[in-house]
Structure 1
Amino acid sequence: MTVWETPERRALRDTVTRFTEREIVPHLSRWEDEGRLPRALHATAARAGLLGIGFAEEVGGQGGDAVDVAVTTEALIRAGASSGLVASLFTHGIALPHIVADGDPGLVDRFVRPTLAGETIGSLGVTEPGGGSDVAALTTRAVRDGDHYVVDGAKTFITSGTRADFVTTLVRTGGDGHAGLSLLVVESGTPGFSVRGPLRKMGWHCSDTAELSFDGVRVPAANLVGPENGGFALVMQRFVGERLSLAVQAHATAQRALDLTVRHVRDRATFGRPLVDRQVVRHTLVEMHRRTDAARTVTRAALERSLASSPTAPEVVLDALMAKNTAVEAVEWVVDRAVQLHGGAGYMRESEVERHYRDARVLGIGGGATEVLTDLAARLLGYR
């Protein structure tokens, strides 16, 4: 028995599978067309005990660790959900951990507990129009004014931004570079805070994405997360978790695309024979399996090691970015082959593999672009 196949995690996998088949699959196409998930789904997922997985009971969660979160993600996608749905329904996975780590009881009560109960929605605001992976170049500024900070600037590509009740926002409170950054919780409806979206995207259609604008927004100083000018360290601590989460989405999507393709080539007959009778098809399936299994193995090993060490330890950082790049490379190849083996049907919007093909493309961009992570790996490996 491995840590991935304990009785408790098998039961969790079964619960998530049933939830997905009942509450998600029948409605996902409509949510894709509408460009967002209904707020009611968050409450439904909370009642099912899913939203709080990976968060301690002391802050309103269901407990568990990163393995339990990964098991949940794998089960959701393998049962017919999508990485876009995971990104939207579980955006609190990147919006809340900084607040939980800070431990301020007031912030936990105001933002963490209601979100894990499915009553509110949170998002994370880091990326800006003038830069993506270069976090140190961030320009959104917050100036202290008595008991408030006055925030001016803009954010873009913010997941769940149009539905969010609050945004855990990275702002500049000090000088240039990493050392001058802080995290502030900005609540929707605050004067001067405006949202534009949902933005139209290639994929992740059911995950709403927004542009945020801050024009003299007065945010209570009590909404500061952690110490002033200590925001970059808090964000860095979450990079490992975010990258591993995207790696899990990638290998789970690859597995789902493979499962759908195996079913299709067994059912689809051409020239009087099932497609699977052809050697070239069988060999393609084997390669899809090999790449998927390798990505899953690397990602799971990285997750297990991350739980036994500091999230900022160089070897843990290296494990996470290598797992993400490996899984992204695998899913991009697998979904491409899945569409090809589905033929014309795979090109139709009614086909599930068409959705996975589009959704997979963002996984090599979010959480640090593949090229940025490769360069970071080179530095960590001493290749200078």
Structure 2
Amino acid sequence: MGNMYFSEEHNLFRESLRDFLKKEVVPHIDKWEKTGSIERFIWKKFGDMGFFGISYPEQYGGMDLDIFYMIILLEELQKINSAGFAAAMWAHAYLAMTHLKAEGSDAIKEKYLTASITGDMIGCLCITEPFGGSDVAGMRSTAVKKGDTYVINGSKTFITNGVYSDYLVVAAKTNPELGNKGISIFLIDRDTPGVSATKLDKLGWRASDTGEIAFDNVTIPASNLMGEENKGFAYIMQHFATERLIMGVNAHARAEFALDYTMQYMSERTAFGKTIDRFQALRHRLADHITEVEICKTFNYTIADRLGKGEYVVKEATMSKLKSTKVADDVIYDCLQFLGGYGYMEEYPLARLLRDSRLGPIGGGTSEILREIIAKMVIDGKDYKPATK
């Protein structure tokens, strides 16, 4: 099925990426998982290899390749068993940088997008707030225009790359009385006075830095507004389609990794005179899980193809994340069980996989919120519109 979307060039890219990750990333993963920070050199190596630029215009140093190169990058990042490392990379490349490309001025793109592609600058996207969670419209951060500046106050939380990034793409209300129609998007340099960050201690995704960020009378040039004032909610919703598909793809890829590892283990582990993959109770559960993952992967590839052609796939991407993250959690839970006591040991991959996977139904919109979004679209007939800059 994959051959429908992956050419020989795609396959060669996958092999090259896999080799790069094995040589340059895997030897450091355990250290980064312990320290909770990813050393700066690897960002530059990713940039030098062109991995941050595969989806971006050539004029800024990118390669402007089709969406399935992004899919390959996401899948292979999941198969080195550090969702935290993977999240740091894709949150930079497809959360922060997506807004730079779509809403950034020429000057912003020239400075920040170019440096992000080379790996010389790291970005983060700041939407979620301590009191808001998945309720984007309920954000309290404000941006008040004063002359040729904006003054930003408020806080954000659960921000991937929130501590060590060089710049922040921040959503704040420029017109609070308009609710979600009063949100705008801004670019803020990390070293701007009034910006502070606190690192959060997490169950999983431990290699990535996740931060709570405070903005105390942060003054930025009016030129740091991205896109049009008060159109931020539409921009956010449009890009959520990409984020949710990314998390759906991540989910099917880590579930595949878990299944591949577990099937190999079960083919070697013996009990009662035979390998445990011969026991019907186990092999039939595996068959169910393999089927569910294949269905998710097929659906996700189809949505990626449509997104790559410019279709507005908010509904389908929301479905992708909702279903794929649930399937991944179920798969990984059972795979750990199939390893027995060894599954519970940190030297085997399933313990970290279980912790990391659990964020899937939470981050980027909880499953409960996603069900309501889908219900609004399919039951109430709500029609989300793409943003126009």
Deviates more, 1:358-367 or 1:1-10: 1-10
1:209 is matched with which residue? 210
Q: Is the partner of 2:52 in helix, strand or coil?
A: coil
**Matching of residues 60-209 of structure 1 within 5 Å:** 60-78=61-79, 80-92=80-92, 93-176=94-177, 177-197=179-199, 199-209=200-210
Query: Does the CA contact (< 8 Å) of 1:12 and 1:72 recur in 2?
Result: no
In 1, distance between residues paired with 2:97 and 2:63? 14
**1:242-297 Cα deviation digits (max 9, x unpaired):** 00000000000000000110111112122332212222222122122111111111
Query: Does the CA contact (< 8 Å) of 2:82 and 2:207 recur in 1?
Result: no
Q: Is the partner of 1:26 in helix, strand or coil?
A: helix
In 1, distance between residues paired with 2:173 and 2:69? 34
Q: Is the partner of 2:319 in helix, strand or coil?
A: helix
In 2, distance between residues paired with 1:292 and 1:353? 17
Query: Does the CA contact (< 8 Å) of 1:147 and 1:221 recur in 2?
Result: yes
**Matching of residues 290-309 of structure 1 within 5 Å:** 290-309=291-310
1:278 is matched with which residue? 279
Query: Does the CA contact (< 8 Å) of 1:143 and 1:151 recur in 2?
Result: yes
Letter in 2 for 1:264: Y
Letter in 1 for 2:117: L
Query: Does the CA contact (< 8 Å) of 2:50 and 2:118 recur in 1?
Result: no
Q: Offset at 1:383?
A: 5.3
Unaligned ranges ≥5, structure 1:
none
Query: Does the CA contact (< 8 Å) of 1:24 and 1:81 recur in 2?
Result: no
In 1, distance between residues paired with 2:36 and 2:261? 24
Letter in 2 for 1:180: G
Query: Does the CA contact (< 8 Å) of 2:74 and 2:90 recur in 1?
Result: no
1:323 is matched with which residue? 320
Q: TM-score, normalised by structure 2?
A: 0.94
1:287 is matched with which residue? 288
Share of identical aligned residues, percent? 35
Instruction: Give the 3 Å change call, closer, same or farther, for CA 281–376 of structure 1 in structure 2.
Output: same
1:381 is matched with which residue? 378
Q: Offset at 1:362?
A: 0.7
Q: Offset at 1:103?
A: 4.8
In 2, distance between residues paired with 1:114 and 1:196? 25
Q: Offset at 1:90?
A: 2.3
Unaligned ranges ≥5, structure 2:
382-389
Q: Offset at 1:114?
A: 0.5
**1:139-172 Cα deviation digits (max 9, x unpaired):** 1111111221111111100101111111000011
Letter in 2 for 1:349: E
Asked if residue 366 in structure 1 is aligned to residue 380 in structure 2, the reply is no
Asked if residue 218 in structure 1 is aligned to residue 219 in structure 2, the reply is yes
1:255 is matched with which residue? 256
Q: TM-score, normalised by structure 1?
A: 0.95
Q: Offset at 1:23?
A: 1.3
Letter in 1 for 2:190: S
Q: Please provide the CA RMSD for this pair.
A: 1.5
1:342 is matched with which residue? 339
Letter in 1 for 2:267: R
Deviates more, 1:68-77 or 1:269-278: 269-278
**1:12-59 Cα deviation digits (max 9, x unpaired):** 111111111111222211110111211111111111221112112122
In 1, distance between residues paired with 2:13 and 2:69? 8
In 1, distance between residues paired with 2:317 and 2:169? 23
Instruction: Give the 3 Å change call, closer, same or farther, for CA 285–344 of structure 1 in structure 2.
Output: same
Query: Does the CA contact (< 8 Å) of 1:143 and 1:173 recur in 2?
Result: yes
